[in-house]
Structures are given as C-alpha cells and as structure tokens.
Amino acid sequence: MPGGRELLLYGRGAHEVPLLAALPAEPHAAAAHLRWHPLLGEWVAYAGARQGRTFLPDAAACPLCPAADGRLGEIPFADFEIAVFENRFPALTPGAVGVPDVAGVATSAADGRCEVVVFSADHVGGLGTLPVDRLALLIEVWGARIKALRDEAGFAFVLPFENRGEEIGVTLHHPHGQIYAFSFVPQRALKVARAQQDAPVLTHLIEDLPHELLLDTEDAAVSFVPGFAMYPYETWLAPRRRVAGPEALLPAETLSLARLLRRAVRRLDGLFGRPMPYILAVQAAPRGFEESFHMTVELRPFRRDADKLKYLAGVEQGTGVFLVDVPPEQAAARLKAVDPERGA
C-alpha cells in the first residue's frame, strides 16, 4: 500500500479482482509513545495523531467499502472477503523509536502493530448477520494474525477486538474490528494468564457451568454468562477443550464458535430490539503462556436497559470495583428468552 503499509486478503475463493488506486499515505507519522504510570505500574499509550482520523463518514465516503472507479478506499479492490491492513492512524507501530522521558515520567517506544480487520465488502451488517462461514473465516483470520504477530514477529500479546456502536465511540459503521499487537503483556492480560497458569480456572469453570448460566451449546464450544460478569448481559464463548487461542482451534471448534458467536450477537440485538453496542475481545495466550491458557471470546454490552447505557462511573473509575445492576443469572435467563433465529 502507499507508504509501505501492508494489506492482507483472506478468503475461501481465489482473489482475481484487479488492483485499483488506493488512498494516499498519511503525510506525517504519529509521534506515539508510552508513558509509565508509576502508581499503577502499567503503560499508558499516547497517540496524538489519532485525533485526525475519519469520523462517521457517509456510506458513499466509507473508507472500508470496496474501491470503485473514481472512489478511493483503504482496500483497492472492487470486492474481497476479509481484508486486514495496517491502521493509517496507529497507536503502536513496528520498530517505533522512543522519546526522552518527560516531566519525570519514564517513556518507552510505542512498539507494536495496529491492524484493521474488515469483515465484509458489504457496508451494512455485522457479526449477527454475516453467514456462519464468514464468521468461521474471521476466527481463522484472528488465528493467522496471532501466529504472524506473536509467534513469528515476536510481539508479547495480541488482542483481536471489535468496538461496535456509536454509543461507545465507533467512528466507522462498516463491519470491522481491529487487532493490536503489543511489545509487552498488558497488566490485565498478565493477571488473567497467571491465574490460569496457577490453576485451570477457566477449563474447570466450563466443565462445571451451572445450567442457569449456560446460554447456548455446540459440539465443541459453549456460550455463557460468567457468574462474575462485570457488565450486564456480558457473554463469553469458549471451546470446551483447553485451547490457547484461535490459532490452535480445530476446524470443528472454529465452526462451533462461529455458530455461537452469530447467535450470541443476535441475542444481544434482540434483547431490547435494537443493535447492542458492545466491545468484543478475543482473549488468547500471551507469549509464554500457551501451555496453560484457555481462550475466550468476550462480549461486553454497553446497554443495560432499553434506553440506558452502562457508564464506568465513580466507583468503577475510582476503585476498579464494578457495580452491576443485572445479576448474571437474571441476565442469562433474559438472553435465553430471546430467539436468536428471529430477525434482529
């Protein structure tokens, strides 16, 4: 791509569409860097250049739609299945150079990689409406990127995720997610990985899942509301077998997860009869924890009632303790009452 950014296409079929013109490169590189929070003991990422990024364009100006004559986009082809490209406004870049310490705060290079994953050439839709096979392909793409970024490029932690809904600041409607590769393991991921290294917490949790929390099952995977959910209607998916991440799933497990994912999103959308804003995060093993980690796909919804959004307010921000007004058992019962095959 212009400026040397990488574009990768993934698909079931051969890609035989001619290359069209692409968007020009960004004129200036972001002066992104990390600063150390000495009290919390974790990195904060600064990426000022991100303020210039595209904000809610019309469908006609969508940069994620396929390119057409006279219309430039991020993906210079008239059609594609799933496209992955390096973000034009990255918070982390490979081989980023450091900046001097500022105001007594230690800094570090924002080394990493930020990718955009476009789920479909179609501007409209999402994980609840795409065919199961496309979701299976997406799970394979997550796995392929984790292999490339963690196992081959040597990044410490890779997070595939999707932010969905204007309510939580999504700037583009076209169905897409992102992947961040970090040169360090973020504190939260490290905690989760260490807990699983000490004991197979998640594997046991799935084996002994109470019926009231179980949402849906497939041969090789389950979906459930965790009994310790921090968000109302929080929904997790996991393979039954302990698998470190999507890169290690068997085809049957991928298919089971794809079916569950589609139905989980449709349940969330059906709950209040409108698209649910959510954050989806794929939790896969950080580098070095592959032998003990059990992967999950976690959906954190941001609507707690038909017209009420969940905000992280005083207690959450001030202490890290989450207040939840829907008990997980009740959330699971309400989600189970939604027919995922009914039109969302």
What is the distance between the alpha carbons of residues 7 and 15, in angstroms, rounded to a whole number? Answer: 13
Q: Please say whether the beta carbons of 253 and 239 come within 8 A.
A: yes
Q: Give whichever of 73 and 239 is closer to Zn ion, judged by the CB atom.
A: 73
Minimum CB–partner distance for residue 175 and Zn ion (Å): 8
Minimum CB–partner distance for residue 114 and Zn ion (Å): 19
Q: Please say whether the beta carbons of 117 and 109 come within 8 A.
A: no
Q: Give whichever of 123 and 240 is closer to Zn ion, judged by the CB atom.
A: 123
Tokens (6 digits) for 13: 């079929």
Tokens (6 digits) for 151: 């196992």
What is the distance between the alpha carbons of residues 284 and 242, in angstroms, rounded to a whole number? Answer: 11
Minimum CB–partner distance for residue 57 and Zn ion (Å): 9
What is the distance between the alpha carbons of residues 225 and 326, in angstroms, rounded to a whole number? Answer: 11
Minimum CB–partner distance for residue 341 and Zn ion (Å): 27
Q: Give the chain's count of helices (H) and strands (E).
A: 6, 15
Tokens (6 digits) for 97: 């150079």
Minimum CB–partner distance for residue 174 and Zn ion (Å): 3
Minimum CB–partner distance for residue 60 and Zn ion (Å): 9
Tokens (6 digits) for 124: 């409209």
Query: Which residues are near Zn ion by CB under 5 A?
Result: 62, 64-65, 123, 174
Q: Give whichever of 173 and 304 is closer to Zn ion, judged by the CB atom.
A: 173
Q: Give whichever of 120 and 196 is closer to Zn ion, judged by the CB atom.
A: 120
Q: Give whichever of 65 and 268 is closer to Zn ion, judged by the CB atom.
A: 65
Q: Which residue has its beta carbon closest to Zn ion?
A: 62
Tokens (6 digits) for 154: 């040597």
Tokens (6 digits) for 6: 């990488």
Q: Give whichever of 65 and 67 is closer to Zn ion, judged by the CB atom.
A: 65
**112: amino acid identity, one letter:** G
